[in-house]
């Protein structure tokens, strides 16, 4: 019976200590919360203050960059300003993706593959002064330009290419230029 009374008294003492610690923590939290609210009402950023261990008070620190603007009065304003920034960034990202999509669409029809072949069509006239150039897009559509150097001048011919083939008869050099362009 005596041991039960001692245990009961010890448990009661522990509970009283825990209640006292809890009350102190609640009071300290309330006091700190009030100080932060006062700082926000004055428009001051809590990042401009440090806890002074000697005095146990918050001390203003000069020449520190503020993370929160002077005009911000409470956390609602912080939240709303952050939401506005996020909305603006989201809009900018959507615009960037649209521009990228447009550029990808344009690239599909841009001439991006080239094939060049130089040759000598006639053995009695100088070196490889004639050439064929094939210009194709990503789907192998485009054209072939042939330039033939002859004694009395220069002849230039163009032929349309669709899916790597032409409706017109192609020379061996033109076929080679198209093949080089496709295999780039």
User: Buried b vs exposed e over 63-82: b needs ≥16 C-beta within 10 Å?
Assistant: eeeeebeeebeeeeeeeeee
Do residues 133 and 153 both lie within one domain? Answer: yes
| Of the residues 104, 121, 153, the one at which a domain ends | 104
Q: Which of 24-28, 54-58, 82-86, 116-120 has the lowest mean pLDDT?
A: 54-58
Tokens of 72: 């911000």
pLDDT at site 125 = 67
The range of the structural domain enclosing residue 154 comes to 113-182
Do residues 12 and 99 both lie within one domain? Answer: yes
| Higher pLDDT among residues 106 and 60, named by residue | 106
DSSP three-state, residue 122: coil
Query: In this model, does residue 72 exceed pLDDT 50?
Result: no
Which whole number is the average pLDDT over 24-35?
87
Domains of the chain: total: 2
Do residues 97 and 141 both lie within one domain? Answer: no
Residue range 43-67, pLDDT digits in tens: 555 555 666 767 766 666 665 444 4
Contact 48, 66 (CB under 8 A): yes
Q: Could you tell me which of 75, 73, 142, 154 has the C-alpha nearest to residue 114?
A: 142
| Higher pLDDT among residues 83 and 41, named by residue | 83
Which whole number is the average pLDDT over 102-124?
86
Query: In this model, does residue 28 exceed pLDDT 70?
Result: yes
| Of the residues 63, 84, 104, the one at which a domain ends | 104
Do residues 94 and 117 both lie within one domain? Answer: no
pLDDT at site 127 = 75
Burial of 142 (0-12, 13-18, 19+ CB in 10 A): buried
Do residues 90 and 136 both lie within one domain? Answer: no
Do residues 16 and 95 both lie within one domain? Answer: yes
Q: In the chain, what percentage of residues exceed pLDDT 90?
A: 35
Report the predicted TM-score, pTM, of the whole model to 2 decimal places.
Answer: 0.48
Do residues 26 and 49 both lie within one domain? Answer: yes
Do residues 6 and 78 both lie within one domain? Answer: yes
Do residues 120 and 175 both lie within one domain? Answer: yes
pLDDT at site 157 = 93
Which whole number is the average pLDDT over 11-28?
88
Do residues 81 and 29 both lie within one domain? Answer: yes
pLDDT at site 65 = 44
Q: In the chain, what percentage of residues exceed pLDDT 70?
A: 79
Do residues 69 and 25 both lie within one domain? Answer: yes
Do residues 143 and 171 both lie within one domain? Answer: yes
Average pLDDT, the chain: 82
pLDDT at site 56 = 67
pLDDT at site 145 = 96
| Of the residues 70, 104, 138, the one at which a domain ends | 104
């Amino acid at each position: 019976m005596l041991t039960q009374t001692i245990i009961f008294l010890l448990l009661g003492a522990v509970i009283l200590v825990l209640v006292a610690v809890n009350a102190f923590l609640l009071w300290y939290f309330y006091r700190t919360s009030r100080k932060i609210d006062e700082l926000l009402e004055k428009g001051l950023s809590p990042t401009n203050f440090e806890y002074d261990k000697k005095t146990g008070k918050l001390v203003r620190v000069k020449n520190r960059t503020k993370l929160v603007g002077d005009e911000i009065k409470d956390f609602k304003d912080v939240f709303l300003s952050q939401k506005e920034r996020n909305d603006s960034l989201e809009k900018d990202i959507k615009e960037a993706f649209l521009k990228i999509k447009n550029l990808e669409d344009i690239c599909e029809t841009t001439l991006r593959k080239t094939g060049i072949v130089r040759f000598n069509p006639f053995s009695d006239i100088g070196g490889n002064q004639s050439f064929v150039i094939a210009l194709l897009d990503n789907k192998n559509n485009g054209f072939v330009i042939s330039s033939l150097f002859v004694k009395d001048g220069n002849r230039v011919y163009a032929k349309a290419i669709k899916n790597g083939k032409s409706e017109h008869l192609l020379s061996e050099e033109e076929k080679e230029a198209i093949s080089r362009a496709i295999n780039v």
